[in-house]
Amino acid sequence: MSNSDDSQKRGTGPAIVLVEPQLGENIGMVARAMANFGLTDLRLVNPRDGWPNEKARAAASRADHVIDAVRLFETVEAAIADLNFVLATTARPRDSFKPVRGPEEASADLRARAAAEQGTGILFGRERWGLNNEEVGLADEIVTFPVDPSFASLNIAQAVLLMSYAWQVAGAAGNTAPRFSAPEAPPATKDDLFRLFHHLEASLDRAGYFFPEAKREVLTQNLRTMLTKANFSEPEIHTLRGVIKAFDYEARRLGDARQETSEDEGA
């Protein structure tokens, strides 16, 4: 459903990904907040009222370049597939072992990744109840805002404005990067990571790992959290998939050998 197959231009600001936004006015105010701080990559996952949306354009207050460049996606996975590193915003604690950052620390890290030409993005949830646990699970880290815990609610445009401002401030800080660093392998995209998820889970399914069935969701989420935290490079992902293929091949070979032995004994 994406209206563009172009990947994020490396070295630019993070993609802002709105998951199932409800009101066109909110999308427009998000676009305006992004434009205030030089961000342009706005991605929408299943906007409730469809797209294009004239109410969004009106609320954007002449941030037409952001509105015109909006890309649509059917799933969060598709919206972040070309990215290397993704933050999930949330106002409440999660049953997750992912690192949790404030906006300043998170934005400084995003700046460093942009300088390394990595594609980055920030997930923002629905106006009424935010992101679900599975969506948070697709991100590398969590970012939350130091608001009053007795009233932690932010609307989606406010949340985007805070992160956009933190991104801008992080760019104004002095350059404290080391004079040189060791070469790094290219980081894996989320699409690479999702393929690893599906490959590993299919292999474990055949091996009977997800037992009893009632524990499948918890086991799957635990695996995905561990794999996401590892921050694999592209070559590492390919190596792991090669390892899984080798195990699958050996399991099939042993299974065929046992079957032949059983048939010979029954003859």
Domain-by-domain residue ranges, the chain?
A: 15-172, 190-266
Residues 6+ apart with CB under 8 A from 247: 203
Give the chain as a 3 state SS string: CCCCCCCCCCCCCCEEEEECCCCHHHHHHHHHHHHHCCCCCEEEECCCCCCCCHHHHHHCCCCHHHHHCCEEECCHHHHHCCCCEEEEECCCCCCCCCCEECHHHHHHHHHHHHHCCCCEEEEECECCCECCHHHHHCCCEEECCCCCHHHCCCCHHHHHHHHHHHHHHHHHCCCCCCCCCCCCCCECCHHHHHHHHHHHHHHHHHCCCCCCHHHHHHHHHHHHHHHHHCCCEHHHHHHHHHHHHHHHHHHHHHHHHHHHHHHHHHC
Q: Which CATH architecture has domain 15-172?
A: 3-Layer(aba) Sandwich (3.40)
Q: How many CA atoms lie within 13 A of 134 on its CB side?
A: 9
Which pLDDT score is estimated for 153? 76
Q: What is the pTM of this model?
A: 0.78
CA distance linking residue 231 with residue 101, whole number of Å:
16
Q: 190-266 has which fold?
A: Helicase, Ruva Protein; domain 3 (1.10.8)
**pLDDT tens digits, one per residue of 152-184:** 778 999 999 999 999 999 987 655 455 556 677
Query: How confident is the model at residue 267, as a pLDDT?
Result: 57
**Chunked in runs of 10, what are the mean pLDDT values of the chain (267 residues)?**
50 90 96 96 96 95 95 97 95 76 95 93 93 93 86 88 94 59 82 96 93 91 92 93 94 76 62
> What is the predicted pLDDT for the residue at 109?
95
Q: What is the pLDDT of residue 96?
A: 66
